[in-house]
Structure 1
Amino acid sequence: MSNEEKLEYLKSRIGDFPDFPKKGILFRDIFSALTDPLACRYLKELLVQQIKQKYSDAEIIVGLESRGFLLNLLIATELGLSCAPVRKKGKLPGEVISVEYELEYGKDTFEMQTNAIKKNQKVVIVDDLLATGGSLKAAIELVRKAGGTVIGSIVVIELEDLAGRDKIDCDVLSLIKY
């Protein structure tokens, strides 16, 4: 099966939920696709292939809370790399570094354990969705604050109308664009 066919299959399994989490928003749900074993396999294959081709020198895969966690371990295991989480404030034990970022309705904070990334380690950040770009931008800042070098990021879904990519100062790959 071609990559285009795999992407179409995966896209056909992504759920659409109108008016969630509030009226006027069409929520694109990756969890709907993850209930299908074939969609899971295709998603893993596509992500791993893209990282091998574009970021072959990656040393660690960083996943954003919470859906990015499902992906970073999967990718890292397949590629023989390490992985690390970026979490919301107060969710990680030990010494952490943090970055505050703007949300549509206020502010939030991302944290990472200080020993998660080695100095100058080449990092690929993964998440399920790029919407307004705030969380991905904060994660990039956090990785840099930890001493890592962000060589790129990859998302499953990009909502192009929200122009989140414009806030990101590194390469961004997206599998599916709406």
Structure 2
Amino acid sequence: MTTTSASPLALHTDYIRDHIRTVPDWPAPGVQFRDITPLLQNPKVFRVLIDEFVHRYFDVRPQAIAGLDARGFIIGSVLAYELNIGFVPIRKKGKLPFTTVAESYELEYGSATVELHTDAVQAGDRVVLIDDLIATGGTMMAGKRLLEKLGATVIEGAAIVDLPELGGSARLRESGLPLFTLVDFAGH
């Protein structure tokens, strides 16, 4: 008798997926919001989630993890701590107190701007850019451009959730950004 077993990543992916709550019709009718709050509330699931990213980047050894405002801060700061490297916050416009560079991008309902301190990374730094979710890809693309303005190399974009039907992950890959996501959901 032959048995096959799922890879640890596949088992963890299912475990993580099972702890993502879907909130229908939020923030607008027809939207299926993927809420990662249950992942963060359960210490065992949160550990499994962080460990997936730690194992991914342990041997790659980036100089920093850059997290996108705001849920990218949660995952990114813990990941940076676990890898013993720096954490770089990419914030919404007007939230950083020092000299910044800015990048605007389009949203479904308008535009937004993110900023980064001018001394957040150095030329040549290898950085992983992380957020909780990839939808249209605008925020991650803006974060990538900010880091590159300062001379850093974004070695990979990472997220817990990908919503492939919204096209963001495809646009990011087409731009040359490698991506790593743990879970994808059909629909949005």
Please give the TM-score of this superposition, normalised by the length of structure 1.
0.95
In the TM superposition, residue 110 of structure 1 has moved relative to its aligned partner by 0.4
Corresponding residue for 1:24? Answer: 30
Corresponding residue for 2:43? Answer: 37
Give me the identity figure in percent: 35
Corresponding residue for 1:171? Answer: 178
Corresponding residue for 1:157? Answer: 161
Q: Which amino acid aligns with 1:88?
A: K
2:20·2:39 contact (CA, 8 Å) conserved in 1? Answer: yes
Q: Which amino acid aligns with 2:158?
A: I
Corresponding residue for 2:4? Answer: none
Q: Which amino acid aligns with 1:93?
A: P
What secondary structure does 2:26 align onto? coil
What is the CA deviation profile of residues 13-63 of structure 1, one whole-angstrom value per residue up to 9, with x for unaligned ones? Answer: 10000000000000000112211111101001011112235xx03111000
Corresponding residue for 1:5? Answer: 11
Residue 90 (structure 2) aligned to one of 86, 92, 95: 86
Corresponding residue for 2:69? Answer: 65
In the TM superposition, residue 167 of structure 1 has moved relative to its aligned partner by 2.0
Residue 135 (structure 1) aligned to one of 132, 139, 156: 139
In the TM superposition, residue 93 of structure 1 has moved relative to its aligned partner by 0.4
What is the CA deviation profile of residues 71-104 of structure 1, one whole-angstrom value per residue up to 9, with x for unaligned ones? Answer: 1111111111111000000000010000011011
In the TM superposition, residue 4 of structure 1 has moved relative to its aligned partner by 2.1
Corresponding residue for 2:81? Answer: 77
The 1-side partners of 2:47 and 2:9 are apart by 12
Deviates more, 1:163-172 or 1:104-113: 163-172
Structure showing greater Rg: 2
Q: Structure 1: any 5+ residue segments left out of the alignment?
A: none
Matched, 1:124 2:128: yes
Please give the TM-score of this superposition, normalised by the length of structure 2.
0.90
What secondary structure does 1:13 align onto? coil
The 1-side partners of 2:169 and 2:163 are apart by 9
What secondary structure does 1:21 align onto? coil
What secondary structure does 1:28 align onto? strand
Residue 50 (structure 1) aligned to one of 47, 56, 59: 56
The 1-side partners of 2:27 and 2:155 are apart by 32
Q: Which amino acid aligns with 2:150?
A: A
Matched, 1:99 2:103: yes
Q: Structure 2: any 5+ residue segments left out of the alignment?
A: 1-6
The 2-side partners of 1:29 and 1:40 are apart by 14
Q: Aligned-residue CA RMSD in angstroms? A: 1.2
